[in-house]
Amino acid sequence: MTSSPQPAGFSLVDEAWIPVLDAAGKRRDVSLLGLFEQAGDVRMIACELPTQTFAILRLALAILHRTTGGPHGGTAWQALWRDRRLPTADIAEYLDVFHDRFDLLHPKYPFYQVADLRAAKENTYGLERLIADVPNNMPFLTSRAGSGMESITPAEAARWLVHCQAYDTSGIKTGAVGDPLAKNGKGYPIGASSLGWLGGVYLEGTTLLETLLLNLVPVAPGWQTADERDLPVWEREPQTAAEEPDATRGPYGLLGLYTWQSRRIRLFGDTAGITGAMISNGDRFDWQDRHLLEPMSVWGRSGPREQAQKRTPIYLPRPHDHSRALWRGLQTLLPSPPPPGAEPAQRLSPMVVQWLARLTVTGVVGSDFQARPHAVSITYGSKQSVVDEVFSDALTMNVLLLVDNSVLRATAVDAAGDAEAAVKVLRRLAENLARAAGSRDTDSGEAERAAERAYTVLDRLFRDWLAGLGPDSDPPARRAAWQRLVREAVDRLGRQLVAAAGPTAWVGRIGTDRAGREVHYSSSQADAWFRTGLAKALPMAANAPDHRQEEAA
C-alpha cells in the first residue's frame, strides 16, 4: 500500500517573498536566506505598507540575534560593523536546521500558524481578515477589490501573516476550538497586536546590511540582557489554540519579543493561491515598563498608571503623532539629557538611537556618519477594531545630533522651534485678516490652512538643512541661515494672504482683541503686526526691519 504524497509546501527560507529595492532602485523579491546573503547589495526592505516592512525587519533581526549569539558584548558587534559583514554561513546553517518550521504550508507546524485551528462551526473565511490595506472595507490600494480579494500568492500571504501577528486590529475574533476564553464561537477583544502600541523607530543605513547591524543592539551591560529561556517561536513547541500560560509565555528577551504570537492564525489554500485565513486571539501583551527590553520605540511616563499604582516611574510606548512630520517632534526622538535631581525622565528615546549615540561618543562610529531614523506607527479607530492610518517618516541627520550634550543637537531642536514660532505668527496673520474682513469666527479654518501650507513648504527646507549639519558646521551661522530660509518662506505666504484678503479687509473694522482692548483691524495693520511678530520669532534672520508697533494679542 503506497502512502499519499506530501502536499507541496512554500519555504520562506528558499522561496522569494520579501520585496526589496536594490541600489539602482529596482524592486524584486528575495527569500529569507537571500535577504541576508544579498544584504550588502540591497538598499532596503520595501513592502506594501511601512508597518509590513517594520514587522519583517524584526523577523530578520530575530534570526540575526540568534545566529550571532546576541551578539555578546560591544566588541563582537564592532567586529561585524568594522568588516561590514553578516555571518551568512551561520545563518544558512541555522535556517537549514529549522527549515521545516519556516514552511508556510507545513501540515503539522506551518510558519506563524496553528495547523489544526478550527471553529466549532464550519465557516468560510476570506482574505479581508488578513490583509490590512482593506480596513473597514475602505481599501488603501484601490486595486484590492474583486478578484484581488479572492486569492493571493503564498508570497503575499506570508507578508500579511507576519504583519497580522504584529499589527492586527482588536475586536471580536473567531472563537477557536480549544480556546477556553472563547464563548459562543467568539473570541472577545484582547486589544491590537503587539506592535500596534509602539511608536516604532529603526535606523536605516545605506544598505540593508548596515540597517540590520545598526538595529542589532548587543547583549552588554546597560543594554540587552541574556536569558536562556529566550527563544524564537520556531524553536519552541508549536502553539495551540489556547493562550500560552503566564508561567511560560515570556517574553524573556528579544527573540520572544520579535516573534510574539498575538494571534492564532490558519491560512487556507495551497501553492497555487491562498484563499482565506482564520484569525483568533493569541497571546496578550502588556507593554508597561518594557523599555529596557524593547529597543525600537519611543517611550513616555504614564501619569494615570503612576497614580493608580502609586509608584513612579511607569513607562509606556508612545505612538507617533500622525498629524505632524517627524522633524516637528525632533526632541522626542533624540536621547534626552538626565533630568535635574532624582526626577525620572519624562520620555525615553529608542534604545537603538541611544546605542548609536554611545557608538558615536566612543568613536566606534565616525562623527561624519549620517544616521537615518525611520519612524513607523499605526492608529486604530472604533476601539482599535479598524485601521485608521499608517504613519511613516524618516530624517537624515549627522550622528552628533544623537549625543545629548551636542551643540549640533541643540541647534537642530532650536531650529525646529524657530519654524513653529514663525508658523504661529502666520496663523495669527490669518486670524487678524479674518477679523478685518468682518468675520466673528476666527476659527473658520483659514488659519489652519495657512499653517498647513507653511509646514508643507518648510518640510523639505528643514530636511535638507538638517541633512547638511555636520561636524564642521558653525552652529550659530547654520541657525541664522535657517531663520533666513524660514523668514523668506513664511513672508512669501504672508504676502499672499494679505493680497487675497480683498477690499473689505483693506478698509477694516473696529474689534476687540484678546485683552479686551478696542483695536482697528485691517489688512495693512495685520501685515504690520505680522512683520513685527516674524522679526521677534526669527531674531537671527539678517536685516530684520525694526517695527515698533505693538502687536495685537
Q: What tens digit of pLDDT does each residue of 123-139 get?
A: 778 898 899 764 444 55
What helix, strand, coil percent values describe the chain, rounded to 5? Answer: 40, 15, 45
Read off φ and ψ for residue 119, nearest 5 degrees.
Answer: -100, 160
- In DSSP terms, 270 is beta-bridged to 273
By C-alpha distance, which of 211, 207, 210 is closest to 83?
Answer: 210
**Residues whose CB is less than 8 angstroms from the CB of residue 69 and which lie 6 or more positions away in sequence, other chains included:** 76
CB atoms closer than 10 angstroms to residue 189: 15
For residue 382, what are the contacts with CB-CB under 8 A and spacing of at least 6? 136
pLDDT of residue 1: 47
Closest CA to 150 of 128, 119, 120: 128
Task: Average pLDDT across each block of 10 residues of the chain; the chain has 553 residues. List them in order.
Answer: 66 98 94 97 96 98 96 93 94 98 97 95 84 59 59 97 97 94 94 96 97 95 89 96 91 96 97 96 96 96 95 95 93 82 88 95 94 95 91 96 90 96 96 83 77 96 96 95 97 94 82 75 90 95 51 45
Tell me the one-letter amino acid at 241: A
pLDDT score for 509: 82
In angstroms, the CA 389 to CA 171 distance is 17
Task: Name which of 267, 261, 259 is nearest 7 in CA terms.
Answer: 267
**H or E, element range at 423:** helix 407-436
Reported as type and span, the H/E element at residue 528 is helix 523-537
Residues ≥6 apart with Cβ < 8 Å to 300: 315, 316, 318, 346, 347, 348
Residues in Cβ contact with 30 at an 8 Å cutoff, skipping those fewer than 6 apart: 16, 18, 20, 38, 42
pLDDT for the residue 140 = 52
Distance CA 194, CA 167 (A): 7
**What is the pLDDT of the chain when averaged over all its residues?**
90
How distant, in Å, are the alpha carbons of 231, 261, 387 from that of 530?
A: 61, 55, 41
Kindly state the cell numbers that stand for 369: 556618519
Pairing of strands 397-398, 370-371: antiparallel
Nearest by Cα to 500 from 442, 444, 437, 454: 437
pLDDT at 338: 74
> What are 472's three cell numbers?
564642521
Assess if CATH 1.10.132.100 describes domain 407-537: yes
Amino acid at 132: A
Q: b vs e for 275-286, b when ≥16 Cβ sit within 10 Å of the residue's Cβ?
A: bbbbbbbbbebe
CB atoms within 10 A of CB 393: 20
Check residue 409 and report its DSSP letter: H
E-assigned strands of 162-272? Answer: 173-174, 186-187, 200-203, 263-270
For residue 67, which of 42, 45, 43, 98 has the smallest C-alpha distance?
A: 98
Measured distance CA(387)–CA(381) in Å, rounded: 6
Cα–Cα distance for residue pair 338/336, rounded to 1 Å: 6
